Structure 1
Amino acid sequence: MSSKRPPASTAWQPLFERVRTEALAGRVAEAWALAKPALASFPGDGPLPLILGSLAQQAGDSAGALPLLEKGVTLMPAEAQGWSSLGAARLATGDEAGALAALEKAVALAPQDPVVTGNLALGQRRTGQLEAALATYSRALAGIDLTKRPDAINLAVEYANLLRSMARLDDAMALMQQLAAAQPGSAAALRGLGRVAGELGQLDLARQAATRALEIEPSAEAWHELGRYLKLSHLFAEAEEALKTATRLKPGLVAAWNELGDVARLSLRLAEAEAAYAEVARLEPQRFEARSNLVLLQNYRSDLSPEALFAAHLEIGRDLDAAGSAFAAARHYPPRSTPPRIGIVSPDFRRHSVAFFLAPLLAGRDKGAATFVCFSKVGRPDAITDKLRTLADEWVDVTGVPDAALAEIIASRSIDILIDADGHMAGGSLAAFARRPAPVQITWLGYPGTTGMKSMDGRITDEIADPPGAEAFHTEKLIRLPSGFLCYAPAAVAPPVAPLPAGTDGPITFGSFNTIPKLSPVTLALWSQVLAAVPGSRLLIKTLQTRSPEVRRQLLSAMAGVGIDAGRLIILDHVDDDAGHLAAYGQVDIALDPVPYNGTTTTCEALWMGVPVITLSGDRHAARVGASILSRLGLEELVAASPQDYITVARALAADRVRLADLRAGLRSRMARSPLCDARGFSRNFIESVTNFTPRP
C-alpha cells in the first residue's frame, strides 16, 4: 500500500488512518478487513481508489481490487504503480490480455522502476511468454550498476529464476555470481545464488550461500532453502532440523512442509511423510504438486485397500478437473489429422527411468503411422534428451512454462491424442490436462494407477497389470495392449553378463536395487523369511538414498526389527555412471521384487544382466508390474501368488544352481527376443490402440 495520504482531512480520515497504520505495520489482511466494509465512506477521487485497490490486491482480494484500480487509473492515468497493480489484479482474475496491456502501460510510464518492470515480466511468465519475459528483464537491467541499485536485487533474482526454470543454468549462474559480488550483504542475492547452484548440483556452494543468507536474514524462507540443499545432499537429519525451524517460524510455509515430507519419505518414515504432505494439502488445497506427492506415497502402503487408494485419487482428480473445467468447456478442436498427431508431455526426456520406455516407442515406429510431438519440461538436458529430440517429429521445449500456459501451447499445436507420461509423479502436468488441450487424453507409463480425473480419457496398461475388474478403480477407460504396456530399451553401455556369484557351492546373494520407499515393512518381513528359508544367504541393497548415514542406520534398524542380522546385509554405494551401476548386478544371484510397489526399471535391468527376479502378484497395478514383465519372457514360474509361494519359489531357485546358471546365461538373449524388447511391435500396437481408442461419452 502506498504511503501517500489522501487530500484534506474529512470525517472518514480517522478510519483511513487506522487502515494505513495496519498496512504500514505489515498487517495487510487486517487493514483490508477494516477498509472493505467501509468503502462507501471513502471518497472516490484523488489517490484513494489506487491506495485502497493496491491494499485489496496485496490482501489477495483481486476481485475486490479491480473496480477500485480501474477507477484509480482513470483518475490518475500517469501513476505507473496503479497500472501495475491493475495488471496484477486482472491477471489474478483471468483477464490475461487486459493484464498485459495494463502492465505494458505501467512500464511505459516508469521504464526504470524495477517493481513495475518485474510485474510485467511476471505477467509474461504466467501467460507462457517466457522469451518476452527474458527480454523485459534484460532491458530493465541493462546499464544498471548493481553495486548502486539495491532496489534492483529482486529483479535480478527473478531474472535468474526464470533462466533457471528454462534450463539456462549457465546464464543464471553468471548473473547470480555477478549479483552476489555486487551485493555481498544481500540475503536475497545469496539465496538466488543458492537456487542456481542447487539446480546445477553444486550443493556445497548452495549450502554455503544459504547459510550466509541465514546469517544476514534468518527468515523461515531461508531456513527452508538451506533444508532443501541439505536434503539434496542426503544430509537428512540436518535437513529435517532446518525445515522444522522454517515451519516453526512460519507454520503456513507450504514449501517447507513439502520438503519435510520428502525427507521423511526418503528416510523410511512413510507415516511422517504422509502427515507432512497432508498438512500441505490442508494449507493450500490448490497446490496440486504436494497433493500428488500424497497420493503417490499411498501407493507404497500395503495397508490401504484398492478402494481406499481409489478414493484418495478421486478426491484430487475432482479438484483438478474443477480447476480446469471452464477452460475445458470452451475448447473447440479441429478435425483429426492424417496421420494422427500424438503429443507426449513429460519432464523425463532425460537420464530417467521413464526414458528407457519412451525411446522404443519413438525409435520403433513406422514414420508414416503417426506424427509424434514431444513437449519437453526437462530442467537439465543431457545426452538422452538429445537422442529423444532426434527421434521426435517435433520437439517443443516448455521448460518453466506454467500449466495454464502449457495447455494453450499444446492446443495451438492441434494435437489429436495427448499422452501424459507421469501422472502424479514429480513434475507431472495434470493441471494442464484438466484444461483439455486435446480431444483425446491418455495416461501411460510413469504412474502406477489412475489419475482420478474425468478429463483423462484413457489409461494404457495390459491384461496382467490390470486384469478384468480393474476398471472399478479407474476414472479412465483402460486400453490393454496385447503384448504388454512396456517396451524396454537396454543401455548401450551394459557390460557382459557376469558369472553366477554363488558358483556351485557359495552363498546365495539376493538383491534389490529399488528406491528406499519401496522397502516397506511388509517387504522387509517377507525378505527376512526368504533369508531364513535359505541358510547362509545374504541380502544386497543398492539405492541412491543410502548415501545418507541416517538412512543407512534406519535401514539397518528396520532390518534388525524383522530379524535380518547386519552380518547378512550388504549395502552398496550408489554408482553414478550407467555401466558401473549395471555391473553391480554381477554381485546378485537372485533379485527380490518389493511389495506392494514393484520395481519396473530395476526389474528390466536385473533381467538384462542375467539376474532372475522373483515377484509377488498383488491386488493393484503397482503390485502386478513384475508379473506383467516376467510373463513377457515366459517366466511365470517366478511369479508368486502368495507370500508363502514367494518364499517357496526363492528357496527352490536358490537350491538349483544349474537352473540359476542356465537362466543367467540365457536371460539376455531371451529378453532381446521377447515382446518386452520388440520396439517395432510395441510401437505398432501402441499407435493402433490409441488411434482406434474411443473415449466414454
Structure 2
Amino acid sequence: MKILERDPCHVATLQLMGMVAVQTGRNDIAESFLRKAIGLKDSDPTIHFILTGMLLEQDKLEQAMAHCMRALALKPNFAEAYLKLGDIFQRLGKLPESESSCRQALKLKPDYAEAHNNLGNVLNGLGRFDDAVASYSRALEIRPDYAEAYNNLGVTLEDLERSDEAEASHRRALELKPDFAEAHNNLGNVLGDQGRFAEAEANYRRALEIKPDYAEAHSNLGNVLNGRGRFDDAVASYSRSLEIRPDYAEAHNNLGITLKDLGRSDEAEASHRRALELKPDFAEAHNNLGIVLSDQGRFAEAEASHRRALEIRPDYAEAQSNLLFCLNYHPDLSVEEIYRAYQEYDASFGIPLRSTWRTHTNDKTPDRRLRVGYVSPDFRYHSCRFFLEPLLAHHDKTQVEVYAYAELSKKDDMTARYQSYVERWIPTKGMGDEALAERIRSDGIDILVDLAGHTAHNRLLTFARKPAPVSVSWLGYGNTTGLRSIDYYLTDATSVPVGSEGSFAEQPWYIANPPYSYRPTAGMGEVSGLPALRCGHITFGTLTRSVRINPHTIRVWSEILRRVEGSRLVIDSLNFNYPGMQARLVEGFAEHGVTRERLELGYHSPPWDILRGIDISLDCFPHNSGTTLLESLYMGVPYVTLASRPGVGRLGSSILKGVGHPEWIAQSEAEYVDKAVALATDLPGLAALRVGLRSEMEASPLMDEAEFARKVEAAYRMMFANWAES
C-alpha cells in the first residue's frame, strides 16, 4: 500500500493487491484494483485473466467472457485463458464451444492436467461418458494426486453404471483430500444408488459438516431419507436446501416426490411446477408432475406431461413407463389407443436392443430341473407378497431351482422370508441392465420372470436384452409390457379373454383360473356382523388409490347411492387424507346430487378394520382394484365389478370367478348399478354371505397354494419345451 501511496498508478502493485483481495474473498475491492490496473495498462493479458476469474466466481459471465477474450487477443498462446474460456462456455450451456476451448488449451499445453479434467466434465455433459473417462484418466496420469479428477471420474463411472469403480474413485479422492465435501456428496450418491442408505446418509452428513450451506448435499440427503421412509425428515432437508438456494430446481422436484409419497398431492404439484418455472426443459420434473396429475385423475394433463418429458429426453425409459402406467387408468381411451403407446415403448427401447441378443446354449434335456429366475423390486413388505410368497413357498425344488434378482433399496422382515425360499439371492441395486443381463446369462437361467411390468424400479431393459431363452411377465402390473422380447404373459381366460390377444406383445399363456394364489395377512381377525344391521343403512366402500377413481366411476357410484336410500360410501386411501383431494372428490359427487354427508373420506390402517364397517365393496373401472378386493372377500364383504379392458380391467372378474361368484360381474355400467342395488336390498342374503364368504374363499382355488404352484411349474415346463423344440 505504501507503494500506491507514493504512486497510485503503479500497475504491478494494483495487480498484486487485486489478486490478494480475490484470494481473501473481497471481490468488490479486487475488482476496483484490477479495473484501475486495466485502465492504466489495457495491454496486460494477465490482469484481464485475473479479472476473468473473479467475475466468473460472481457468475458475471458476459463480463468474464469479454475480459477472457481480451486476454487471448493479447496473448494467443495463453493456455490458461483458453481453459477459463471453456469454463465460461460450459456455464453458459455451450458445451461444443467449451470442448473446443479445452482442446485448444491442451494443444498449447498437452500435459495440462486441469484442462484434461475440465474436458472430461464437458464430455460428461455431452453424454460422451467413455471419452470423459479417458480425459480424467489422462489427468490422473499427469497428476496422480489430483483429488478433483478422481471425484469427477467417479461421477462419470456412475453414469456408466460402473458403480463399484465409481465408489473406488470417490474413496481415492477422499484419501487424498479427506475434507472434500463434494466427494463425500458424490460417494453418498453412489451408495444411495446401491441401496446402502445408512452409509449414504453418513457421507451426506459429513459433507454438510464440512460445508453447511451445501444445497446439493441437503437435497441429496433428502433423497436418501425418502428412500429410508423418513418422509418428514426428507421434507426438512429439501426445505433447508431451498432456503440456501431458492432457485434450485432439482430440490423443488425432489420435494415434490416426497410430498407425493406423503399423499400431499396439491403441494407436490406446486413443487414440480416451481421446478419447471426455474428449468422449463427439466424432463424429470415433467415426468413427476405427470405422476401427481394421474393421482388426481387429470389423465389428459398427465399424459401431456409424460410426453413432454420424452420430447426433451427421448431415451427416458422411466417416463415412457410412467406414461403407460397413466394410460392404463385413462377412462376415455380405447384398448387399441393404449396398445399403440406400448408399441412405441418397444420401438424406442426394445427393438434397438435386439442386436445384443445372443444364442442361448441351455441344456435342452426334457424333464430336467429348470432354473427359474424371478426379477422384482418388491421382495419386501409390498402387496405382491400376498401372491408371490405362496408360489415361492410351494415350488417343488426337485423340479425348479429358484433364483431371485432383487432390485431392493431396503430390506425388511418379508425380505428374509423370501430369501428362505430361494436357492440363490442376487441383489441387483446399482447393477446396470447389461451387467444384470450378463449375470443372468452366466447363471444359466432357463425361465426368467418379470414381476414388475412398468411399475417403479422395473428391470424391463434387462428383459429387452433377452438374457434367458424363455421370459414371462406375471403378477406385478396386470397388463402387457409391450416388449416382444418377453415371450409369455401368464394369465387366465377371464383376465385376458380369447380374442383379445392382439393387445398384448407377449403371447398369453393360459392356466386354469385363477392365475395366482392369495395368502391373507396373519392377524386380520374374525369377520364382523353385517354393519347395516347395526347402523340401519347400507355402507358401500372402496379402499382403492385415487388414480383408479374417475368421472365415470363417480357417476356410477352416485347412481347407486341415489337408488339405495340412506346409503353411505366409504373411500379410504392415503390420497384422501388431505383436504385438496377430498375437495375434488366431494365436488365430483356433488355434480351428481350426492352430498358430502353421505361420503366418509380419509385413510386408516390396517384396511381390514375399515372393512368391518363396510357392507358391500365397489370395484373401480376401467382399471380394477387388486389386493383390496381379496381382502374384502376375506373379511366377508362381497363386491361388484365391471368387466372392462383385458388385464387391468378384469382383475376383479378373475377373482370372483375364482371364489365362485361370477354373478357379481357386470358387463355394463347399468348392470353394475343393478347388481350393487340388488345386493344392498337383500339384507338377509347379505348377512348370510358375510358369514360364509371367508369359508368359501378358503375352499376355493384362490387359496390353494400348492395346486397353483403345480400349475405354474407345468406351464414353465411346457414353455421351455416349446423353446427346446423350436
What is the TM-score of this pair, normalised by structure 2? 0.82
2:365 equivalent to 1:319? no
Deviations 1:225-275 (A, max 9, x none): 233333333333333222212112211111111221122122232222222
Other structure's SS at 1:622 match: coil
Going from structure 1 to structure 2, the CA distance change for 1:249 and 1:655 (only over 3 Å counts) comes to same
Going from structure 1 to structure 2, the CA distance change for 1:392 and 1:647 (only over 3 Å counts) comes to same
The answer to whether the 8 Å contact 1:128/1:406 transfers is no
Other structure's SS at 1:25 match: helix
2:588 equivalent to 1:525? no
For 1:608 and 1:554, the matched residues in 2 are separated by 31
- After TM superposition, give the deviation of residue 90 of structure 1 in Å: 10
Q: Give the match for residue 44 of structure 1.
A: none
Q: Give the match for residue 483 of structure 2.
A: 453
- Among candidates 664, 678, 693, match of residue 667 of structure 1: 693
The answer to whether the 8 Å contact 1:510/1:537 transfers is yes
- Among candidates 355, 376, 396, match of residue 346 of structure 1: 376
Q: Give the match for residue 575 of structure 2.
A: 545
State how 1:240-251 maps to structure 2 within 5 Å. Answer: 240-251=269-280
RMSD: 3.7
State how 1:473-622 maps to structure 2 within 5 Å. Answer: 473-503=503-533, 506-575=536-605, 580-622=606-648
Going from structure 1 to structure 2, the CA distance change for 1:624 and 1:658 (only over 3 Å counts) comes to same
2:168 equivalent to 1:140? no
Q: Which moved more, 1:463-472 or 1:326-335?
A: 326-335
- After TM superposition, give the deviation of residue 397 of structure 1 in Å: 0.6
- After TM superposition, give the deviation of residue 652 of structure 1 in Å: 1.3
Going from structure 1 to structure 2, the CA distance change for 1:78 and 1:582 (only over 3 Å counts) comes to farther
For 2:349 and 2:124, the matched residues in 1 are separated by 20
AA aligned opposite 1:168:
R
Other structure's SS at 1:650 match: helix
Other structure's SS at 2:612 match: helix
Q: Give the match for residue 665 of structure 2.
A: 639
Q: Give the match for residue 458 of structure 2.
A: 428
The percentage of aligned residue pairs carrying the same residue is 32
- After TM superposition, give the deviation of residue 380 of structure 1 in Å: 2.0
For 1:324 and 1:115, the matched residues in 2 are separated by 35
Q: Which moved more, 1:297-306 or 1:115-124?
A: 115-124
For 1:267 and 1:341, the matched residues in 2 are separated by 43
The answer to whether the 8 Å contact 2:537/2:567 transfers is yes
Q: Give the match for residue 206 of structure 1.
A: 234
Other structure's SS at 1:353 match: coil
- After TM superposition, give the deviation of residue 105 of structure 1 in Å: 6.5
State how 1:185-224 maps to structure 2 within 5 Å. Answer: 185-214=213-242, 215-216=244-245, 218-224=247-253
- After TM superposition, give the deviation of residue 198 of structure 1 in Å: 2.2
The answer to whether the 8 Å contact 1:146/1:183 transfers is no
- Among candidates 87, 90, 97, match of residue 24 of structure 1: 87
For 1:668 and 1:644, the matched residues in 2 are separated by 28
AA aligned opposite 2:87:
L
Other structure's SS at 1:172 match: helix
- Among candidates 296, 315, 319, match of residue 286 of structure 1: 315
Q: Give the match for residue 208 of structure 2.
A: 180
Deviations 1:42-70 (A, max 9, x none): xxxxxxxxxxxxxxxxxxxxxxxx99999
Going from structure 1 to structure 2, the CA distance change for 1:15 and 1:298 (only over 3 Å counts) comes to farther
AA aligned opposite 2:308:
E
Q: How many residues align?
A: 657
- Among candidates 273, 285, 292, match of residue 263 of structure 1: 292
The answer to whether the 8 Å contact 1:457/1:696 transfers is no
For 1:677 and 1:90, the matched residues in 2 are separated by 56
- After TM superposition, give the deviation of residue 352 of structure 1 in Å: 1.3
Q: Which moved more, 1:592-601 or 1:215-224?
A: 215-224
The answer to whether the 8 Å contact 1:361/1:679 transfers is yes
Q: Give the match for residue 38 of structure 1.
A: none
- After TM superposition, give the deviation of residue 91 of structure 1 in Å: 9.5
Going from structure 1 to structure 2, the CA distance change for 1:108 and 1:17 (only over 3 Å counts) comes to closer
- Among candidates 440, 461, 471, match of residue 441 of structure 1: 471
Q: Which moved more, 1:657-666 or 1:306-315?
A: 657-666
Q: Give the match for residue 235 of structure 1.
A: 264
For 1:280 and 1:336, the matched residues in 2 are separated by 48
AA aligned opposite 2:523:
V
The answer to whether the 8 Å contact 2:148/2:173 transfers is no
Going from structure 1 to structure 2, the CA distance change for 1:557 and 1:165 (only over 3 Å counts) comes to same
For 1:434 and 1:89, the matched residues in 2 are separated by 31
Unaligned segments of structure 1, at least 5 residues? 36-65, 148-152
The answer to whether the 8 Å contact 1:73/1:79 transfers is yes
For 1:512 and 1:521, the matched residues in 2 are separated by 15
Q: Give the match for residue 116 of structure 1.
A: 149
AA aligned opposite 1:363:
A
Q: Which moved more, 1:87-96 or 1:238-247?
A: 87-96
Q: Give the match for residue 649 of structure 2.
A: 623
2:423 equivalent to 1:406? no
Deviations 1:598-649 (A, max 9, x none): 1111111111111111111124221111111110111011111221211111
Q: Which moved more, 1:682-691 or 1:407-416?
A: 407-416
AA aligned opposite 1:388:
Y
The answer to whether the 8 Å contact 1:267/1:550 transfers is no
Going from structure 1 to structure 2, the CA distance change for 1:10 and 1:568 (only over 3 Å counts) comes to closer
AA aligned opposite 1:497:
V
Other structure's SS at 2:541 match: strand
AA aligned opposite 2:692:
G
- Among candidates 303, 308, 318, match of residue 274 of structure 1: 303
Unaligned segments of structure 2, at least 5 residues? 1-67
- After TM superposition, give the deviation of residue 443 of structure 1 in Å: 1.0
- After TM superposition, give the deviation of residue 454 of structure 1 in Å: 1.6
For 1:321 and 1:85, the matched residues in 2 are separated by 35
Going from structure 1 to structure 2, the CA distance change for 1:257 and 1:437 (only over 3 Å counts) comes to same
Deviations 1:545-579 (A, max 9, x none): 1122211111111221232211111113232xxxx
Other structure's SS at 1:387 match: helix
Other structure's SS at 2:521 match: coil
Deviations 1:522-546 (A, max 9, x none): 1111111111221111110111111
The answer to whether the 8 Å contact 1:183/1:189 transfers is no
Going from structure 1 to structure 2, the CA distance change for 1:211 and 1:109 (only over 3 Å counts) comes to same
Other structure's SS at 2:552 match: helix
Q: Which moved more, 1:643-652 or 1:167-176?
A: 167-176
- After TM superposition, give the deviation of residue 101 of structure 1 in Å: 8.0
Other structure's SS at 2:170 match: helix
- After TM superposition, give the deviation of residue 102 of structure 1 in Å: 7.6
AA aligned opposite 1:202:
R
Deviations 1:309-365 (A, max 9, x none): 111111111111134222225776666793111111111111111222111110111
- After TM superposition, give the deviation of residue 290 of structure 1 in Å: 0.9
2:413 equivalent to 1:383? yes
Q: Which moved more, 1:445-454 or 1:389-398?
A: 445-454
For 1:365 and 1:282, the matched residues in 2 are separated by 45
2:704 equivalent to 1:681? no
Q: Which has the higher contact order (CA 8 A, sep 6+)?
A: 1
The answer to whether the 8 Å contact 1:590/1:611 transfers is yes
AA aligned opposite 2:253:
H
Other structure's SS at 1:588 match: coil
Q: Give the match for residue 150 of structure 1.
A: none
Deviations 1:99-155 (A, max 9, x none): 8788666556545434322344345545655344434433432474428xxxxx222
For 1:329 and 1:72, the matched residues in 2 are separated by 44
Q: Give the match for residue 656 of structure 1.
A: 682
Q: Which moved more, 1:72-81 or 1:664-673?
A: 72-81
Deviations 1:71-99 (A, max 9, x none): 99999886656776898999999999998
- Among candidates 290, 295, 317, match of residue 324 of structure 2: 295
